[in-house]
Chains A and B, each alone.
Chain A
Amino acid sequence: MSRAPHESAALTGRERVPLTRPGWAAGERQEHRRPLPLVAAEAVARPEARRSGARLADRSRDWHRGGWPEPMAGLRERAAAIRRETLADLEGYLAALTERITEHGGTVHRAATAADAAAAVRRIAAGAGARLVVKSKSMVTEEIELNRALEADGVEVVETDLGEYIVQLGDERPSHIIAPAVHLGREDVADRFEALAGRRLDRDAAALASFARGRLREDFRRADMGVTGVNFAVAETGTLVTVTNEGNARMVTSQPRVHVAVMTLEKVIPRMADLGTLIPLLSYAGTRQPVTVYQSMVTGPRREGETDGPEELHVVILDNGRSRIARGKYAEVLACIRCGACQTACPVFRTLGGGHAYGATYGGPIGAVLSPLLGEHPADAGLPFLSSLCGACGDVCPVKIPLPDMLVDLRADHAERAAPAALAARAGWRAWAAAWSSGRGYALSVAAARLGSRLLPRRLLAALPGPQRRWARGRTLPDLREAGRFRRTLRALRPRREGPADRPEEVGP
Chain B
Amino acid sequence: MSPAGRDGAAEPGGDAPGRPGGVGSGAGGAGDRGGAVRTSGTGAVDPGGASGRVNADGARGLSGDVAAAPVSGDAGGGHGAAAGDALAGPAAADPGGAATAAGGGAGNLADRFAAALEAVGGRVHRAADPAEAAERVRGLCGERPVAADRDEVLAGVVSGLVLVDDPWAAEFGLTTALAAAADTGTLALAYDRDHPRGTSLVPPVHIAVVPADRLVPGYADAVARLAALRPVPSGMQMISGPSSSGDIEMELVRGMHGPLALHVVLVGG
Contacts and interface: CB of A to CB of B under 8 A. Distances in A.
A280 B255 CA distance: 22
Most buried by A among B185, B192, B247: B247
Q: For the complex, would chain B's binding face be called helix, strand, loop or mixed by DSSP majority?
A: loop
A291 interface: yes
Contacts of B238: 279, 291, 294-297
A214 interface: yes
Contacts of B73: 210, 214
A218 B77 CA distance: 8
B71 A213 contact: yes
B25 interface: no
A303 B224 contact: no
A36 B73 CA distance: 44
A162 B192 CA distance: 29
Interface string B53-94: 000000000000000110111111110100000000000000
Given A201-B74, A210-B73, A220 B257 contact: yes
B17 to A, nearest CB: 31
Contact of B193 (A254, A298, A306): A306
Contact of B248 (A59, A160, A208, A295): A208
Contact of B235 (A180, A218, A251, A299): A299
B99 to A, nearest CB: 23
A289 B241 CA distance: 12
A143 interface: no
Interface in A75-122: 104
B175 interface: no
B74 A245 contact: no
Interface band, chain B: 35 or more
Contact of B76 (A208, A215, A280): A215
Interface stretch (B1-9, B103-111, B133-141, B196-204): B196-204
Interface stretch (A181-189, A426-434, A464-472): A181-189
A292 interface: yes
B36 interface: no
Interface residues of A, number: 76
Interface stretch (A18-26, A269-277, A364-372): A269-277
A8 interface: no
B201 to A, nearest CB: 5
Given A197-B75, A201-B74, A213-B77, A293 B240 contact: yes
A291 B234 contact: no
Contacts of A216: 257
Contacts of B116: 290
A162 B223 contact: no
A300 interface: yes
Nearest to B262: A293
A397 to B, nearest CB: 21
Given A205-B249, A291-B238, 13 more contacts: A186-B248, A211-B77, A213-B71, A213-B74, A214-B76, A216-B257, A245-B243, A245-B245, A254-B198, A273-B224, A291-B240, A298-B235, A308-B196
Interface of A: 9, 55, 59, 104, 160-163, 166, 179-182, 185-186, 189, 197, 201-202, 205-211, 213-218, 220-221, 237-239, 245-248, 250-251, 253-255, 271-273, 275-277, 279-280, 287, 289-309
